Amino acid sequence: RFEDGTVSFLDIIALKHGFDALEKLTGGMEKIKQHTFALAHYTYTVLSTLKYANGAPVVRIYSDTDFSNPDVQGPIINFNMLDENGEVIGFSQVDKMASLYNIHVRTGCFCNTGACQMHLDISNEDMRKNLQAGHVCGDDIDLVDGRPTGSVRISFGYMSSFEDAQTFLKFIITTRLSKSGTAIPFQSSVKELTTESVPDDHPSFNNADKLSPLPHISDRELRNNSSATKTTGNWQPTETEVESIRAAVSDIAVPTCRRGGKPITVTNIYLYPIKSCSAFEVAEWPVGNQGLLYDRNWMVVNQNGVCMTQKQEPRLCLVNPSVDLTKKVMIIQAEGMDPISVSLEENTGKETVICESKVCTHRAKTFDCGDRIAAWFSMFLGHPCRLTRQSSDMKNRSHQKNTKGPTPATNISLSLVNEAQYLLINIASILHLKEHVSARLEEPLETEELIQRFRANIVISAPESFEEEEWAEISIGALRFQVVGPCSRCQIICIDQQSGERNKEFLQSLSAARGRKTNFGIYLMNQPLHSSFPDTLSVGSQVLPVLKENTEIQPPASSEE
């Protein structure tokens, strides 16, 4: 009845072949059910017993069963991670940390609002408040007033293994628990769980060419088995654990204007002409209607027309674009490659429509920069790709978040950025984080390296770390900016912008330093001025912030914490 057009007869025909293949590979759904349930039951049991040194649970599991019967419980575990004070850690942070360990989780409400309301104790009125706070399905607003808007889910399939379950549990241990004083219910429970998790009345996996049973692993075998992620009886992680540091939140009424003190100035200005490529530092730069002129006007796409970022291709940070406004060209350089130039004049060639999921899930209308540039990038990156540029008629792409201010952000045009026209960071905040990262790495760290990792447009020198998060608006010279909100960081800060090498300690250190979030820096939108002054941003300009009124301030954790 709901079919629109021809019935999908090819897919219907394919169903039998699909089930036949599944039967041949696994022995059928009954064996899959036993196998996946054993993994889920084992993981559920271990997760349920993980505790902090103070006895507080590490996770809160949401389930309608006790994982005792595969006929009523599927191979999924739905949970929220907690800190040692029992406060929920937002699912978006858990998702970002899991990605560092190559673990894919699903987060949010899973298209099941009713179950979400029931298990998270969210009333209809709470749902309305969350919507008013700007929360929509699929966003990163995981906590509203300290309460979760969703949760984290892991799933097991027929291809999942015991080692996969261990890898996930090791991720939880590594990021949440300390090395000493942590009792892990692992040693004595592995054999019992793997042999008794499936009820006796269910046939076991006993056919060699079907699914293999979970192995009977003794304590000695587990200690000597390198494939079991080098887990010992005490399950000591090999990497430095993340300390749980939660900043206290207090309701503080702040004045409209910033208190007097040391002047705040702009110390650095960066633009990124090609999305995800290296920064181009300038002393002063014109401001356009989408941000800094030519900032993120180009992007590298794969053969399917999808934007490539450093998440998929870290070597993009080794591509160095620079813009010559006098000659009206962009020069692109990289080690081992001859420089190549791209005209700043907009091409009138064939336009193509591509989909780039991280640009607010909008379709970006672009045009191709030609085969010569495509060959350059393909040779450097080692696989086919092309350079495209945002079309000038893409004025309708605007910010969609709920914001406050004299000029609604929804009226402002965006380039190929993810969230907003500008990203601002504070050197005082960088120095605060530098202490945490250096302590974890046990080696000195250059301030400039940290600045580059956070890929900001505007770097300022304010007296206090993270005071920028208290601002509602700022003025720089003749320009006024509205603060859109904090920047929630992802794994890109783990990439050394000089070498392209990854180090997950940076995101873990940020998480430890900031408590339950990975925020660093603030997003800005330019509020158009009716002024005779030229719209130019300059290093050395004074920054005049306006503070939020009656805001919740989350100060950085002290060294004692």
Q: Which two tokens stand for residue 257?
A: 């204007």
SS3 365: strand
Residue found by looking up tokens 């208190």 in the block: 259
Cβ-contact 301, 388 below 8 angstroms: yes
Q: What is the C-alpha to C-alpha distance for residues 364 and 367, in angstroms, rounded to an integer?
A: 10
Catalytic residue (choose from 109, 111, 257, 317) = 111
Nearest to 83 by CA among 101, 104, 58: 58
Residue found by looking up tokens 């929920």 in the block: 88
Nearest to 393 by CA among 435, 455, 346, 446: 346
Cα-Cα end-to-end distance for the chain? 61
SS (H, E, C) 471-500: EEEEEECCEEEEEEEEEECCHHHHECCCCC
Q: What is the C-alpha to C-alpha distance for residues 287 and 294, in angstroms, rounded to an integer?
A: 9
Amino acid letter, residue 191: K
Q: What is the C-alpha to C-alpha distance for residues 390 and 110, in angstroms, rounded to an integer?
A: 34
Counting beta carbons within 10 angstroms of the beta carbon of residue 41, is it exposed (0 to 12), middle (13 to 18) or buried (19 or more)? buried
Contacts of 393 (CB under 8 A, 6+ apart): 365
Q: Is 487 a catalytic residue?
A: no
Amino acid letter, residue 10: L
* Alpha-carbon distance values, 353 to 179, 232, 463 (Å): 51, 53, 46
Question: Which H helix or E strand runs over 463?
Answer: none
Amino acid letter, residue 114: G
Amino acid letter, residue 379: M
Residues that are catalytic: 111
